[in-house]
Structure 1
């Protein structure tokens, strides 16, 4: 799966749980993440700290000498009201009465096989659940938070409102995902789950959402304290106009994919690092990612800033100034960033770093997971932390205008053998066009269809930023920093980490060329 991850495939879900348990028991230095899925375990690693050959040897050793079954995880009790809109239809589909479906679902001892789709969304399985439930033919555009559903062999509950195609049979008030809690995800891989049926008329306040007692190893399913404040940080900029879309981003929250949490962070990580360097910040300090320009802000106090990334006209109090250079904004002065003329995203660094509440160790906004601060709006005030370093004696930083044709390097993908040799040549030789379906989750590319050799359904497996998924329409989709951590479309190739940032500057209508594997 590219040069920073491998995919270990086994025969069934039971072996996935056993392999994941064996790997998690003693990971060597350099292993960043372990993501179990339906038939695979994704092993992400840092090639600067551990060689790929050593990772492969470790995985194979764990696969041959690990336990036959994963040890039992913590017990979590989840209250469920069986009031879902699909309850009756699902029971009829299975040839049983709704009361029998409820009884079987509530009596089954469930276990979390893996997470994905959204932070806190757990795929639960049970040996006592014999049903294979087909998904809805037409997915809902809105599934409310707390909805309990069935799909295939799995049951699961939606931690937040999202689209979805599972058949909804109930509702839970359990806090499935609490980003500011010490343990943010209630249902983690390996956890045992006991369903506690609730009367449908009970409100959330009347539902018993507590887990088992401490003697039984249970876990409390109560709320969490709010995120720490940032009142000690000084006002730096007041936003007059955020442009098309502007969010706070740092270098993200890696290493949490097993919880269903994407890496997120600035899409053009290099541009953020340079901007931070120019104003004397640590490279991972939070800045502002601005899509297509059009941003205006006024300084609340004397403030150093730097703007990098896409090409746009910059003005300080109406006077043209340069990008990729430190700029001192006097108190009351207005900084204006024009519409981007090349590239898609600009990065604005503020001396001291943008101070915003951290969620799971990062200040980054992840719109798909609803993590981090909301997108900026007119009137918002950006606070800055305390500078730790002097302003570097650097007048400017070498840079070039983002090209209209983006060239990125590819590594082999785990499902390249699902495609014809002609499809692999087409991927490399064609010039692809960035479609209008391009955001922080991913970019769909328009061009010739990539022909498949296999057309069967792929069980969900771990995904990475840079993965090129190929949906049934045959056009590749490049996953980016906010993309899902698991997915069910085959990955034909993976963009190298060194060239992934270039896709951050690709805008609709731009062209993309892939260089050889």
Structure 2
């Protein structure tokens, strides 16, 4: 095993092959290490998120290094059969690459049983291993900008099905009508790690196939989504949305097994403060809006608080009177009053909490809107009416606060501390030095998935080979072939195939979420890149106790 630093609360374990990865994953799931929060397995790695307050990185490395990898993982007794229409636009090219006919490609694809090795990239996307030994095809040199939902593809030795329309670089050999991801199912992701999968040529099936179902032993039944039936105490009517306004809370953690990342508020401290100011639980849902322009009209009497960016607030009554109110404190609105948020002087995102909370239904345990995965409530639209819940008895409105002292602006360089790794050694020494020495500007293509950065001189790789997909952490600086980094934010994919040169320290993530387009960044490495080494003393003690 190799142990590579990711950030102060995550590390990457690299193994020899997929069998070792699955063996270690099974061991860690069967006998968990105290302090480990979540595991994200991939082809040859496991991304381990942990709580530093419960276990140190050094102790975690030693605990994992002592695990026995000789046991092979037992296959699940659940078999999912997926019908496929083999008319994919890359079928002929794949046949040519393998030196066989398209018909033989189909025969080999349907003649092998696959296993769900791990999930990632998108909710419901499963990496399937164990196909025909001849299947080892490269990704497309230029990824497509749009691949349809249900597309069945090959990449390397893996097969997979795209759960929704998205960009992608896999070789597409067919399409299935079966939904890989359906929130109306008790278990939205059809394919779970360990499941067995067999593909069936749809041309060989008799009768009409139900496009909404899979032929599966043990597939969970559909369940209706829960609804919040609490009576609304008041409401807010959306008069204008600004650039984009979405519901956010602290995120949906623990869903990596279904390929779903946590998402959540970009500035979590600001969301907690907004809820505290109106007397709500700190993890309650609030509105996150980018820039200025959001206008909310009170239906009945309401109490709101706006935090995060340093933006001017204005209240306008139904008869046209208007005045300014401070941010970062509770504001009482009468029936018909409209609260407007101006363009921020510093920061990028504002958070609006309402006393009692919003009557919004959680999806997978959270009200967060994940813009990449398309999970959670839809973005707000003009005319929407947002029902509010009654405030619980005894809820106390918090005392006024202040915007964060270090809110980013376009006038001053924003400095972010970074931990180098896990793939720093994939870059030239000059590029590692350039990461810190050069300024990087936030481009207009940035969003909740990540900040796309542009520097005068791109980063160059020392290792040019293809990196197998591996888990990516919040704050990761992934470097695509252009050499211009992307700083992954709340809605980043769980796994990625480009090397990560470093990751923003957790205590600077809220600041990163407030960086406006056009701002300039500088990165401050907290130390040199070094692999993590298990302690021989701890390893000896663990081996002795095991014996």
Please indicate the TM-score interval, normalised by the length of the shorter structure: over 0.9
Output the CA distance in 2 between the equivalents of 1:463 and 1:386. 40
Q: 1:249 to 1:377 in 2, by over 3 A?
A: same
Instruction: Give the conservation status (yes or no) of the 8 Å contact 2:289–2:351.
Output: yes
Name stretches of at least 5 consecutive residues in structure 1 with no aligned partner: 213-218
Output the CA distance in 1 between the equivalents of 2:163 and 2:260. 12
Instruction: Give the conservation status (yes or no) of the 8 Å contact 2:408–2:511.
Output: no
- Indicate the residue corresponding to 1:296 in structure 2: 295
- Indicate the residue corresponding to 2:260 in structure 1: 261
Instruction: Give the conservation status (yes or no) of the 8 Å contact 1:209–1:221.
Output: no
Output the CA distance in 2 between the equivalents of 1:477 and 1:246. 23
Instruction: Note the 1:489-500 alignment, pairs <5 A.
Output: 489-500=498-509
Q: Does 1:505 align with 2:503?
A: no
Deviations 1:290-323 (A, max 9, x none): 0111000101121111001112210111210000
Cα offset, 1:373, TM superposition? 0.8
- Indicate the residue corresponding to 2:31 in structure 1: 26
Instruction: Give the conservation status (yes or no) of the 8 Å contact 1:82–1:200.
Output: no
- Indicate the residue corresponding to 2:425 in structure 1: 417
Instruction: Give the conservation status (yes or no) of the 8 Å contact 1:310–1:401.
Output: no
Cα offset, 1:393, TM superposition? 4.8
Q: 1:198 to 1:393 in 2, by over 3 A?
A: closer
Specify which of 69, 72, 75 is matched with residue 72 of structure 1.
75
Output the CA distance in 2 between the equivalents of 1:422 and 1:91. 42
Q: Secondary structure at the match of 1:112?
A: strand
- Indicate the residue corresponding to 1:444 in structure 2: 452
Specify which of 219, 224, 228 is matched with residue 226 of structure 2.
228
Output the CA distance in 1 between the equivalents of 2:310 and 2:398. 24
Instruction: Note the 1:360-509 alignment, pairs <5 A.
Output: 360-388=364-392, 389-397=394-402, 399-400=404-405, 402-404=407-409, 405-447=413-455, 448-509=457-518
Instruction: Give the conservation status (yes or no) of the 8 Å contact 1:33–1:258.
Output: no
- Indicate the residue corresponding to 1:124 in structure 2: 128
Cα offset, 1:189, TM superposition? 2.0
Instruction: Note the 1:268-287 alignment, pairs <5 A.
Output: 268-287=267-286
Cα offset, 1:175, TM superposition? 2.7
Q: Does 1:104 align with 2:102?
A: no
Cα offset, 1:221, TM superposition? 6.2
Q: 1:305 to 1:61 in 2, by over 3 A?
A: same
Cα offset, 1:401, TM superposition? 6.6
Output the CA distance in 1 between the equivalents of 2:403 and 2:159. 53
Cα offset, 1:288, TM superposition? 0.4
Deviations 1:230-274 (A, max 9, x none): 342514201010111000000111222232111101101111011
- Indicate the residue corresponding to 1:216 in structure 2: none
Q: Does 1:10 align with 2:9?
A: no
Instruction: Give the conservation status (yes or no) of the 8 Å contact 2:110–2:200.
Output: yes
- Indicate the residue corresponding to 2:310 in structure 1: 311
Deviations 1:64-123 (A, max 9, x none): x14432121232222223232332332233222222211110110101122111011011
Output the CA distance in 2 between the equivalents of 1:78 and 1:415. 36
- Indicate the residue corresponding to 1:114 in structure 2: 118
Q: 1:375 to 1:30 in 2, by over 3 A?
A: same
Output the CA distance in 2 between the equivalents of 1:182 and 1:207. 15
Instruction: Give the conservation status (yes or no) of the 8 Å contact 1:431–1:513.
Output: yes
Instruction: Give the conservation status (yes or no) of the 8 Å contact 1:31–1:44.
Output: yes
Specify which of 155, 158, 176 is matched with residue 154 of structure 1.
158
Instruction: Give the conservation status (yes or no) of the 8 Å contact 1:83–1:200.
Output: no
Cα offset, 1:203, TM superposition? 5.2
Name stretches of at least 5 consecutive residues in structure 2 with no aligned partner: 1-5, 317-321, 527-547
Instruction: Give the conservation status (yes or no) of the 8 Å contact 2:151–2:176.
Output: yes
Alignment RMSD (CA, Å): 2.0
Instruction: Give the conservation status (yes or no) of the 8 Å contact 1:75–1:192.
Output: yes
Instruction: Give the conservation status (yes or no) of the 8 Å contact 1:460–1:487.
Output: yes
Q: 1:97 to 1:459 in 2, by over 3 A?
A: same
